[in-house]
Structure 1
Amino acid sequence: MDKLDKLKMASSSLGERLKTGGAQMSRMVSAKMKEILQGPTPESKMVDEATLDTMEEPNWSLNLRICGMINSEEFNGTEIVKAIKKKLVMSKSPVSQRLSLDLLETCTSNCEKVFSEVASEKVLDDMVKMIEDPKTDSGNRVKAMELITAWGESEDLRYLPVFRQTYMNLKRQYPLESHMNEQLLSPPESYPIPNTGSRNHEHTAYIGESIEEKKEFLVVTRNSLEILSSILTSEVEPKPIKDDLAVSMLENCKQSLAVIQRIVESTSGDEGLMFEALNLHDELRQVISRYEEMEAALELGERLPKTPEDGSGLPNTALESGERLPPKTPENGSGLLNVADTSEANLEKPALNARESHAVAPTKEENNQSHPEVVKPGISLE
C-alpha cells in the first residue's frame, strides 16, 4: 500500500510539473507568435531604415534622431533594442549587421536607459553567438568584441553584472587584443571608411524647422560632448583618446558643428534656444581642439598637455594665445554680443564663440523701452 501511495504521489508531482512546463511553453510560443504576426512598429521601421544593406556607411543623422526620440520617450527603448537584436540574429547581410552594431553603439552612448534593455533582452548572448559563428564577417566579429570589451571594462556599468561577466567569459575564450589589432591593420573592403564630408551634408539636411527637433538634437549633441570631455579629463594614463568610444564621440561632435550652425541661422523668436546653440557650438570647438592637441602630442611621443584647472576638459584658447576678449557690451546697444568673427585665422571654422555670446540682462527701464530686434550672428556656411 505504501508503494502504491508513493507511486501516486510521484505520478501527481510529474503531472503538475508537466502542466506547469506546458503552460510556460505555451506562453513562450504565444509571445513568439504574437511578435511574428503583429505588424511592424514605428521603432522597427526606423531601425530597418537605419540598417539598409544598400548603404555604404551609417546614417548618423538618423541614428542620432532615434536616440533623441528614445530620450524624449517618443520611442520605446525596448522596441528599438528588440529590432536591433532581430537584425543581428536574422540578417544575412554583413553590411546590415554592421550597421546594426553601429546603431546599437550610438544608442548606448547617448541613451542611459538602453543598457538595461540590452541586458534584459539578452543582446549580449546574441553578440557572443555572432562572434562564435565562423560565417560572421571578420569586421563585424571585431566590432562586437570591441563593444563587449568597452562595456565590460566600464565602471559605470557595474550595476549590470552581465556586461562584466560576458566580457570576462569572452576574454578567456578569445585573444581580444590580437583580433582588434589585426582589424586595425586590415579593415574590411566590404565596409569602406566613411567620408566625413558627406556625413556632414546628411547631418545638416536632417534638422527640420520645428523647435522640438532642434532641442532634441542639442540634447543628443551635448551627451556626446560630455562623454568626450570626460574621456579627455579622466585620470587614466595614457588617456584613451584612440579608443573606439572616444573616436566615435569625436566624430559625433565634428558632425554636429554644421547642424548647430544651421540651427542658429534658422531660429527666430527663441533667444534661449539660439544662445544655447551658440554656447554648445563654442564648447564643441574647444573640446575638438583639446582632442587634436592631445592627439598631436601622442603622435610626437610627447607628454599629453595638462587638463585645465577648471576640470572642464576644454582649453582656454583666448588666454593661451594672449588675445584680448572683446568688450561685453557691443556698440549697437542691443544688449547682445556680436559673435561674428571676421579674422582670417577663423575663416575655415564657423564664426561662433559662446564666450562672446552671453546676453546682458536688461534692466527694468530697458525693458520698458523699445528693444531693437535681435540680430542673428553672421555665419557663413562656406
Structure 2
Amino acid sequence: MSSSSSSGSFSLSKINPKLLRRIYRACRPTLNEPNLALNLEICDYVNAKQGSAPRDAAIAVAKLISQRDPQTSELAVSLLDNLVKNCGYPFHLQISRKEFLNELVKRFPERPPLRYNRVHRLILAQIEEWYQTICRTSKYKEDFGYIRDMHRLLSNKGYIFPEVKLEDAAVLNPSDNLKSLEDLQKEESIVHSAKLQELIRRGRPQDLQEANKLMKIMAGFKDDNLQENKKQINDDIARLKRKSEIFAEMLNSIQQSGTSIDDSNEALVELYSSIKSSQPIVTKIIEEDNDNEDYVHDLLGLNDSINQLVEKFQLLKNGQIDKAGAINVSTNNNSANDNLIDFDDDEGPISNDKRDDQGYQDLLSDLTNLSFSNNNAPNQSNNLDLNNLFGSGGSISLGQPIQQPKPQHQQPTQSLNFDLLSDFNSPSPQLQSNTSLDPFQLSFPNTTPSNVLQNNFESIKLINQSSNLKIEAGVNSNDASLVNGKILFSNLNPLQIQELKFMLAVPKSCKLNLKPQSNDSINGSSNQLVYQEFSIENNMNKQLKIKWKVEYKVNGENFEETGVNVL
C-alpha cells in the first residue's frame, strides 16, 4: 500500500505515523471481521489528540474505503462508523467536507448497478444515517450542508438508501439528558476549536477573516454565552421534572396493581436510567449555582425526589411492594409543567409568537423526535476548500453541474462536469421525499396539481394564515371521540418555502398520532400541496384544543409561528 496520495496534493506521510499504523492495522484484509477494540482505541486517540487528528483520520479512512480490495473497504467503513459515533463534532465537521464525500463515493458508477455490492450498501447506509441524524437533529446541522447535497445527488442519480436502524440513529441524535453549565461550556469550546482549526488550515483570505471573528467569540465565550447556557439548563431541568412526574405515576400504578417491575417494561427502565444518571449532574449544578437560594432549594427538592424514585424502583423490582408503598414521592409540580397546554384559557391563536411558556417548549422539543418529518432541503455550503485535490471524486461528485433526471425513459447522461451546488440556487421540481417513506424512488414531482392531492374532507378549518404560509386542517370525521384528517400547507408567495417543520401538541387526556409530512418544501404560489396526516383520540369528548408551532425558511430567512386553535 503506497503512502502517497494518488489524488495529487495530499500525502499520507503527513499523517501522524502512530495514528496511520493503527488505522492500517484495523483495516488489514487478513481480518475476518472488524476489530472493535482497536477501532475504539483509534477513536480514543483522535479524541485525545484533537487538532488535526480528526481530519487525518477521516482522510486515511476515506482513501482505504476507495481501495479496490473489498475486505479493506468494508473494514474501513466499519472504522468510519465507530469514529462518527464516538468522536463528536470535530469528526462530523470532517465528514461533511466536500472532498471527503467525493472520495467516499469515488467507486460509485454514474448509473446505479442492478445489484449493489456490499461496499456500496454500507456507504449508502452511512450517508443515510448521517442525513437522518446529524443533518436534522444536531445543534450544528447548518455546518453539514454537503452531506445533504451528496444525499440529494445520489437520490437524483437513482440510488436507493437503506432504512436507518433505530439503535444507530439513537447514538447520533442529541441526548436530552441533563448537563451542567461546565459541560455545556466545554462542548461549545470543542466545537469552536474544531471550526477554528479548519479555517486556519484552509488559509484563504475569507477563511482567515472568519477565523479572526471566531477567535473574538472564543475570547469572550464564557460571558457571552452564559445566559444562553443557563436557559438551556433550566429547560433541561423542567424536562427532568416532567420525567420524574411521569416515572412516579408509573411506579404508583405498578404498586397499586401489586406486581413487581419486569425488565421487559422498556419505557420504565429507560426512564429510570435517564433519571438516575441525571442525579450527579443535579448535584453539580447545585454546587455551581449556590448563590441563588431559591434555585438551590428547588434543585434540592428535585434531588430528594430522584432519591425517593430510585429507591422505590429498586424495592418494586425486588418485589418489596409494602416497603415501596411507604415511600411517598413528592414531585415539585408547578403550573407550567402540570398542564403543558392551558385548556382553561380562551385566548385566540397566537401567531408569530417567538417565545412560549417553558413547558410547551419542552413538549415540542420532545415531539420532534417522535412524529415529525423534516426532510431538510439541501443547503449550499460555501465554507469548504474547493481547491484541495483530495476527494476529486469519480463519476459522481459534488461541485459538478448536475443533470436533472427525467421521471421515465432516461437517456444516458454524461459522467463529467456535474455542478450540484449551482443547481441548489433554484427549486428543483424533482426534489424527492424521505427515502424511508419512498423506498423505490417513485415520488412525484413537487409540481403535482393540488387537486390530485386533496381529499373530500367533511370540513376544512383555517388554523393560521401569515404573509407566507397558510395552514388548514382538513377533517374527515365529525366524531368527537376520534378526529382524523390532514394538516394542509399552502405557500402564499412566489418564493419557495424550505425546511418546513410542523409541531403539534394536544391535551394529556388525548392521544395524538402524527404522521410524517409529505414534503418539507413548498413551491411558490402552491395551494394545499404539502400535507401531514393526523388522528387524535379524544375519549373524554371535550372541546379539542391544539397547540401548534411551525418553522420554515423563505429565501434563507427563518420564520416561526405558533398558536392555539380548536378543532
TM-score (norm 1): 0.40
Higher relative contact order (CA 8 A, sep 6+): 2
In proportion to residue count, which structure has more helix? 1
TM-score (norm 2): 0.28
